[in-house]
Amino acid sequence: MAGDDRGASGREDERARIVEAAYRCLAASDGASASVGEILAAAGLSTRAFYRHFGSKDDLLIAMFRDDADALTAEMRAVTAAASSPADALRRLVRGTLRLTSDPRRRRRVLVMVSEETVRAKGYAAERARIDADAEGLIAAILAGGRSAGDFPGVCDVAADAGCIGALLRQAVDEQLARPSRDGARAAADRVIDFALRAVGRCAGRP
């Protein structure tokens, strides 16, 4: 059993080395392209090691996207669960999501995950739709809770309203990735929050 545990640990480390090497290679090429050979050279691993974990480079890229997307969803669930009110939860979700565009390390990873190389990968559209649906599900839960509590009287259709706020948030993220500025992420978050809270019938200045 102990030997199996060590083997599993070794395989996890091997996979992590490939993924981190892929991030480095794609970031160095501005997301344009990186071959499996280049990634393995950066990781110091063999072709056999790669195919122990991934069937193709597309599989690697989709796995990277999925891992980062699921980590963000889990982070936003925790952030919103700790909120003091539905309005606070919405603020936390918007600010936390847009913070991805201003933190240097996380921004580099996001840029790799929305690069031409990744977007072309087989399965990307389905994974992107899944993470967008997860984000809108979080927003919908906040709106439903706010409506039940009487905090969001303007919410009529939870799913439709969540979709609109989610689309606005995605647009703000895309704009900040394309045209970054020192205060851009905070200002963009404030604009999304102001609009969203007014739309659901909550004054943006209230807690």
Contact at 8 Å (CB) between 32 and 117?
yes
CA gap 136, 133 in Å, rounded: 5
Which domains occur in the chain, in start order? 1-55 (1.10.10), 56-207 (1.10.357.10)
* Phi/psi of residue 122, nearest 5 degrees: -65, 125
Given pLDDT bands bounded at 50, 70 and 90, which one contains residue 31? low
Q: How much is the pLDDT for 166?
A: 97
> How high is the mean pLDDT of the chain?
89
pTM (2 d.p.): 0.87
CA gap 196, 193 in Å, rounded: 5
Given pLDDT bands bounded at 50, 70 and 90, which one contains residue 184? confident
CA gap 60, 83 in Å, rounded: 35
CA gap 115, 147 in Å, rounded: 38
Q: Is the pLDDT of residue 205 over 80?
A: no
Determine how many CB atoms are found less than 10 A away from the CB of residue 142. Answer: 29
User: Each residue of 66-92: pLDDT tens digit?
Assistant: 999 999 999 999 999 999 999 999 999
CA gap 72, 35 in Å, rounded: 27
Contact at 8 Å (CB) between 43 and 20?
yes
Q: Is the pLDDT of residue 30 over 70?
A: no
The count of C-alpha atoms lying within 13 angstroms of the C-alpha of 162, restricted to the half-sphere facing its C-beta, is 20
The residue written with tokens 């839960």 in the block is 141
Q: How much is the pLDDT for 105?
A: 87
